[in-house]
Amino acid sequence: MKGKKIWFLVVGFVLSFSIVSANTTPDGWIDDFQVAVEKAQSENKNILINFTGSDWCKWCKNLWSEVFSKEKFKEYAEENLVLLYLDFPRYNKISSKLEKQNDFLFNTFPVRGYPTVFLLEPNLNLLLITGYKSGGPSNYVKHLEEDRIEKTLTKKNGKTPQQQLEEFRLDVVGKVNAFFKMELK
């Protein structure tokens, strides 16, 4: 009986340590919004934000294995993007600071599910909202290069797509400035 208790304690300790210490931010990606925005602005690159459930979401895992992990995408991203990784794991733990940031950004951007991917200009102009797309890295890069959200918007409440996008940008910038104590314009 005593041996079983010790065994359960050891297993529990090992499992809790592995869950708490899990680092879920992949190489080449940033998990800090402020750092990503500053880098995008200094390098004049677009920001790709990946809202993911890395340890439970099937389509997130597919997007990762079919696109983001591939060399063709990595080469494109290195030249053109700042990659922001916002994870919402169920089993792995992230720091409370990241959890607070990610929850704020989840509520700031119109996340439709997982994965939701946003492509933004360095000033946070919204270029595209997307998610999983089959066809591998070449197709995904083409999608990022050619498809734009303004093509999918229609006039709404008397506002043109461009007016709607600027309103969205100003709303996001206002919330981000307040939360992160930034001074984006």
Give the confidence band of 20 by pLDDT, cuts at 50, 70, 90. very low
Within a domain: 53 = yes
Within a domain: 88 = yes
Within a domain: 7 = no
Show the domain range for 54. 25-149
CA 14 vs. chain centroid, Å, equals 29
For residue 23, CA distances in Å to 27, 31, 55, 61, 77 come to 11, 11, 12, 16, 21
pLDDT tens digits, 133-184: 999 999 999 999 999 998 888 888 899 999 999 999 999 999 999 999 888 7
Within a domain: 10 = no
Global pTM?
A: 0.85
Number of domains in the chain: 1
Within a domain: 18 = no
**One-letter amino acid of 175:** K
- Number of residues assigned to the chain: 185
Within a domain: 9 = no
**One-letter amino acid of 130:** T
- Residue 140 neighbours by CB under 8 Å, 6+ apart: 67, 73, 133
Within a domain: 87 = yes
CATH number (domain holding residue 52): 3.40.30.10
Is residue 41 classed exposed, middle or buried when 0-12, 13-18 and 19+ CB atoms within 10 A define those classes? middle
Within a domain: 90 = yes
